[in-house]
Amino acid sequence: MTFQQIFNQLPETQASASGRVNLLGEHTDYNDGFVLPTAIPQQTTVKLGFSDDGQHQFYSRNLQERVTILDIHHTPSGFASYIFGCIEVLKQAGYTIPSLNVYVQSSVPIGAGLSSSAALEVATLRAIRQLLDLPIDNVEIAQLAQQAEIHYVGVQCGIMDQMASSLADTQHILFLDTRTLERHVLPFPNNTTILVIDSGVPRTLATSGYNQRWAECQEARQLLAVKALRDITVASLTEILPEPLNHRARHVVTENNRVLEVLQGVTPERFGELMNASHTSLRDDYEVSVPALDTLVEVLQKTPGVFGAKLTGAGFGGVCVALVALGEEKIIAPQVLKQYKNAGYAGQILVPNFEVSDAV
């Protein structure tokens, strides 16, 4: 159903925001660390109009679900919590937000680790900015979106996803220092592109596991007497920590160092090696992988034309990203899906957006 069919009016404005995939820098952003995301073609679009009944009305086309906000002191659940959180953080920033009709449609897969939540938050804030002509820039959009997710959704997230959704594009890699928000736009390694594959396993433990890892990192930081794990640059310094904190901290330290190495300039082969090392660390030290992801990554890493591969996002299911030779992705993709299927799983190519025949 359209905006007009749901709300009996035409939208006043609309805005979109992209999902993201992270090439390196996994679980480092809430440790004040370094990240290397890029935007993906899939986007979330939010259309807005003024509500004439004094209540916020939210509708998700994908979920075919409508939510009416009757109590502004009670955060709704599901997709509505992200929109409600965005409205509330704008209010707390001193802006007057009228009652709104909000219509959401998205091509960003939900629960796959591609930041569908950040895309929804950034698109919502962009649309409200346009509707009300608010003086907030794209960095502030990301910061407000992060606060909405922390305080109204309950995920202790860093700012990577929101910054990537607000600032990144599909043609470059965004280097971001999540402490200072210093950032640089980097090219992809020469003659490479990315392949993003859904493992077919939903991220069932992502939220609870994510918050647990955040808590473990906070405990490790306190025991090491530093402001954030980003301030530890030598992995051996984490060995004094009790288990599993030593492994969690070691991942963050080594992952930050991998990102910083890329910043100095590396070959496609070395970039791939760093991605492979990242997955090993995420699997063994951070323990956020699952058998399906490990199988998919292993298949990718053994396929000619693939420089490296890793899980991306929070883990516990979701997607893998691979750095591959430009022009070979349409050859690589069906080979990988066939081998993955032979291992008992069903994957799907998300980026680039092309069909892979079931006959392969």
Catalytic residue positions? 161
DSSP string, 123-174: HHHHHHHHHHT----HHHHHHHHHHHIIIII-----SHHHHHHHH--TTSEE
Residue whose entry in the numeric block shows the structure tokens 């006043």: 12
Residue 179's Cβ-count burial label (10 Å; 0-12, 13-18, 19+) is middle
Task: Give the DSSP letter of residue 293.
Answer: H
Q: What six digits make up the tokens of 279?
A: 């997955």
Contacts of 10 (CB under 8 A, 6+ apart): 3, 4, 49
Closest residue by Cα to residue 196 from 279, 294, 309: 309
Q: What six digits make up the tokens of 10?
A: 């035409």
Q: What six digits make up the tokens of 348?
A: 């799907």
* Helices of type H across the chain: 3-7, 79-92, 116-132, 138-148, 160-167, 206-224, 245-263, 268-284, 291-301, 329-342
Q: What six digits make up the tokens of 65?
A: 């679900």
Q: Is the peptide bond before 352 cis (omega within 30 degrees of 0)?
A: yes
Task: Give the DSSP letter of residue 44.
Answer: E
Task: Give the DSSP letter of residue 307.
Answer: E
